[in-house]
């Protein structure tokens, strides 16, 4: 391990290819940035940026932008909160929201913001615990050690600790966060401008979206006082300027083996595309039933559309022959290096074959695993509440080290926040989603499957879904709290039909999960660790770790690109927004923007692109200059960036951001958001 850590600290020739890389803060290639751009971030700069970055527990990034707990993120990252605060009579999704006073700020029902305080290397502890173990023994030892480390770290309810696997198991880091669970909405524009262009413009450029919102974190009922935050750039992004993105990319598969990529290409991605297409169609039809049903299904439909397009991009990358051949060649090069020395072959040689065999096992169990465990319930909130209640009761009766990871003691505050959330539950939408799930269960497992027979009996999916939604009491947060606090006895006594449904599935669901963890996940982890060690010995840190929804820093520059022989300029401007508007969805401007046209400086930059390396999860990330001044906020990538799951091409991959000047112009001349502008240091003339 000493050798491994020593190698990790070396910067070798060819460390970074172009502006590629989602780098951890404790291993950032400052020398490479210096060589390319003439600026080397030092320790103090990196610490300031790290403590100014934020994470939304639901899957987005953000940043602290004032000493009084103000947080900037995307509109689509807070849309669940906006939806949950809305009613049929007061639809903040449609009309927007602005708290002109502190008293008007509204608490989000289930939002958590995290600030990364410390990173520590726990590789030695985890690898020592799993040394020489395989299968279930490896999984159990790994889970126990991670749970122990996280519990020892999380010394208070406002502290969150996660052990993060890096380099496919080559390293383990412990991330310690400050947890904020009192989060209040300050500003959100109308969805029509935040997502202007809708699905046709999604993952495209030019873009004209005002995808920015602000929330505030509170402590003890008062705005949190912060020592670190990012200030505003006087000029905003300039063409050719060095830019950084600090955010939380969700996941990538750039270090995956060819066998794992083949599984994604042939099974995982196409099957996910089919399900997303069907769900999107279901929600489109549901929305046509009336204005209120359109409102309550809107956020989920946008999520499905976004996910669908992202999967399309992944598929296009995986079926590109040249790209896939490059991945095969990269793997073969490392395997040849391993084979060249008998000692290396003995230590690492079988790892790829072991992973390939495990993917065969995954292929055979994938449908059952997906339906009963990984995607059970098909987005139904009521189903998720029932599973949380049943499993948390069972898991809490076990020692912390033996629990399923999501029920470990360190995860309890977030679980309870979700479970007790006062967010509304919509019965008609729940019925549609549960009917879809039960239909898929019968369709894909077959009507003679014992689980299908146990769940449906002689009922149709539609009839059972109606019965479940009509009979359950789990829409009430008070009922959920009582059942949770009552423990196993209260849950066993309850005849709630949604709990009965989950109970009827849970034995089989746990069994398929256990088999997956023993025969697939543990094999991936153990052999991924061996491949990572081989890669370290061969290349040092020329490979950054895959994304893990943990804080990363990427560097790049504001730069256009060429698409099909056409030069794409790096900026759009307000004038282009009005030229693109048609008056019909999804190119319809809200009334506030129509009325503000004569007040706006139409040549103000609106959106822009840069070469920063990002992926899903980076939404809401601040994009800033070498002085750690905000020049914009990341909200998307272009269509070429969707292959970023598997690799990076600086010539065409682009991050798409809202320009900081455009944000200020909108706040000042469209929304008259004076209190917010003053807090950002942009009062008066901006």
pLDDT higher than 50, residue 14: no
What are the two backbone dihedrals, phi and then psi, of residue 344, each rounded to the nearest 5 degrees?
-65, -40
In angstroms, what CA-CA distances link 360 with 351, 429, 602? Answer: 15, 37, 57
pLDDT higher than 90, residue 34: yes
What's the pLDDT tens digit per position in 666-676? 999 999 999 99
pLDDT band with cut points at 50, 70 and 90 for residue 539: confident
Q: What's the pLDDT score for residue 649?
A: 92
Percentage of the chain surpassing pLDDT 70?
Answer: 97
SS3 1: coil
Which H/E stretch holds residue 116?
strand 113-121
Give me the half-sphere count of Cα atoms (radius 13 Å) on the Cβ side of residue 209: 30
pLDDT higher than 70, residue 212: yes
In angstroms, what CA-CA distances link 66 with 82, 220, 552, 599? Answer: 22, 18, 21, 27
Name the pairing type of β-strands 171-180 and 159-166: antiparallel
| Average of per-residue pLDDT across 311-323 | 95
Question: What's this model's pTM, rounded to 2 decimal places?
Answer: 0.94
Q: What's the pLDDT score for residue 16?
A: 44
pLDDT band with cut points at 50, 70 and 90 for residue 418: very high
pLDDT higher than 80, residue 6: no
What's the pLDDT tens digit per position in 634-656? 999 999 999 999 999 999 999 99
CB 610 within 8 A of CB 554: no
SS3 280: helix
Q: Identify any residues that bridge with 562 across adjacent strands, giving them in sequence order.
A: 567
pLDDT band with cut points at 50, 70 and 90 for residue 10: very low
pLDDT band with cut points at 50, 70 and 90 for residue 609: very high
Question: How many residues are given for the chain?
Answer: 686
More confident residue, 463 or 136: 463
| Average of per-residue pLDDT across 287-303 | 96
What's the pLDDT tens digit per position in 366-416? 999 999 999 999 999 999 999 999 999 999 999 999 999 999 999 999 999
Quick one: which of 516, 518, 505, 517 has its CA closest to 390?
A: 505
pLDDT higher than 90, residue 160: yes
pLDDT higher than 70, residue 684: no
pLDDT band with cut points at 50, 70 and 90 for residue 541: low
| Average of per-residue pLDDT across 274-294 | 97
pLDDT higher than 80, residue 685: no
Mean pLDDT of the chain: 95
| Average of per-residue pLDDT across 32-52 | 97
Determine the distance from the C-alpha atom of residue 150 to the mean position of all C-alpha atoms in its chain, rounded to a whole number.
21
Q: What's the pLDDT score for residue 9?
A: 32
Q: What's the pLDDT score for residue 686?
A: 38
Domain ranges of the chain: 2-112+181-250+549-679, 258-528
Q: What's the pLDDT score for residue 5?
A: 33
pLDDT band with cut points at 50, 70 and 90 for residue 683: confident
What's the pLDDT tens digit per position in 550-582? 999 999 999 999 999 999 999 999 999 999 999
Residue appearing with tokens 């992973």:
355
pLDDT higher than 50, residue 633: yes
pLDDT higher than 50, residue 13: no
SS3 262: helix
Q: What's the pLDDT score for residue 12?
A: 33
Quick one: which of 387, 406, 369 has its CA closest to 520?
A: 369
pLDDT higher than 80, residue 230: yes
Overall fold of domain 2-112+181-250+549-679? Thrombin, subunit H (2.40.10)
Q: Which residues contact 362 (CB under 8 A, 6 or more apart)?
A: 263, 369, 516, 520
Q: What's the pLDDT score for residue 17?
A: 53
């Amino acid at each position: 391990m000493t050798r491994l850590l020593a190698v990790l600290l070396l910067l070798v020739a060819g460390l970074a290819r172009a502006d590629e890389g989602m780098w951890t803060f404790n291993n950032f290639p400052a020398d490479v940035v210096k060589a390319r751009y003439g600026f080397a971030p030092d320790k103090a700069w990196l610490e300031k940026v790290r403590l100014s970055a934020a994470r939304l527990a639901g899957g987005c990034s953000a940043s602290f932008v004032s000493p009084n707990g103000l947080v900037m993120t995307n509109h689509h990252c807070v849309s669940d909160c906006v939806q949950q605060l809305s009613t049929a009579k007061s639809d903040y999704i449609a009309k927007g929201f602005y708290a002109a006073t502190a008293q008007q700020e509204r608490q989000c029902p289930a939002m958590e913001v995290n600030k990364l305080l410390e990173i520590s290397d726990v590789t030695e502890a985890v690898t020592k615990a799993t040394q020489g173990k395989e299968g279930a023994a490896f999984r159990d030892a790994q889970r126990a050690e991670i749970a122990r480390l996280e519990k020892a770290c999380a010394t208070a309810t406002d502290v969150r600790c996660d052990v993060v696997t890096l380099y496919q198991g080559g390293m383990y880091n412990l991330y310690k966060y400050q947890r904020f669970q009192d989060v209040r909405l300050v500003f959100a524009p109308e969805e029509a401008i935040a997502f202007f262009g809708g699905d046709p413009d999604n993952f495209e450029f030019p873009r004209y979206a005002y995808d920015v919102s602000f929330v505030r974190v509170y402590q003890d009922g008062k705005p949190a006082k912060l020592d670190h935050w990012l200030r505003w750039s006087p000029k905003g992004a300039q063409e050719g300027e060095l830019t950084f993105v600090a955010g939380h990319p969700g996941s990538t598969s750039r270090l995956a083996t060819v066998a794992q990529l083949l599984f994604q290409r042939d099974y995982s991605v196409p099957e996910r595309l089919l399900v997303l297409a069907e769900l999107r169609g279901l929600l489109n039809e549901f929305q046509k039933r009336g204005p209120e049903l359109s409102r309550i299904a809107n956020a989920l439909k946008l999520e499905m559309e976004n996910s669908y397009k992202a999967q399309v991009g992944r598929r296009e990358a995986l079926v590109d022959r040249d790209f896939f051949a490059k991945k095969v060649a990269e793997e073969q090069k490392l395997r040849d290096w391993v084979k060249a020395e008998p000692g290396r072959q003995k230590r690492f040689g079988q790892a790829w074959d072991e992973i390939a065999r495990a993917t065969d096992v995954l292929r055979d169990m994938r449908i059952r695993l997906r339906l009963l465990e990984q995607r059970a319930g098909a987005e139904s909130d009521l189903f998720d509440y029932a599973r949380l209640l049943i499993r948390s009761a069972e898991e809490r009766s076990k020692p912390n080290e033996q629990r399923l990871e999501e029920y470990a003691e360190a995860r309890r505050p977030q679980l309870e926040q979700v479970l007790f959330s006062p967010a509304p539950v919509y019965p008609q939408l729940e019925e549609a989603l549960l009917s879809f799930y039960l239909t898929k269960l019968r369709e894909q497992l077959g009507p003679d499957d014992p689980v299908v027979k146990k769940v449906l009996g002689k009922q149709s999916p539609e009839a059972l879904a109606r019965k479940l939604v009509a009979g359950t009491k789990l829409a009430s947060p008070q009922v959920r709290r009582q059942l949770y606090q009552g423990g196993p006895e209260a849950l066993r006594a309850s005849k709630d039909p949604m709990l009965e449904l989950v109970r009827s599935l849970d034995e089989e669901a746990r069994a398929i999960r256990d088999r997956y963890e023993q025969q697939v996940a543990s094999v991936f982890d153990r052999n991924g660790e061996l491949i990572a060690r081989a890669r370290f010995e061969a290349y040092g840190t020329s490979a950054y770790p895959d994304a893990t929804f943990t804080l990363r820093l990427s560097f790049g520059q504001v730069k256009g690109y060429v698409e099909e022989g056409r030069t794409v300029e790096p900026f759009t401007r307000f004038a282009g927004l009005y030229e693109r508007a048609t008056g019909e969805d999804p190119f319809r401007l809200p009334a506030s923007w129509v009325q503000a046209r004569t007040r706006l400086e139409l040549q103000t930059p609106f959106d822009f692109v840069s070469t920063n390396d990002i992926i899903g999860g980076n939404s809401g990330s601040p994009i800033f200059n070498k002085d750690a001044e905000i020049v914009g906020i990341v909200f998307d990538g272009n269509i070429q960036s969707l292959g970023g799951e598997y690799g990076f091409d600086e010539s065409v991959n682009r991050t798409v951001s809202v320009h900081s000047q455009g944000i200020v112009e909108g706040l000042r001349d469209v929304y008259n958001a004076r209190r917010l502008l003053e807090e950002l240091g942009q009062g008066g003339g901006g």
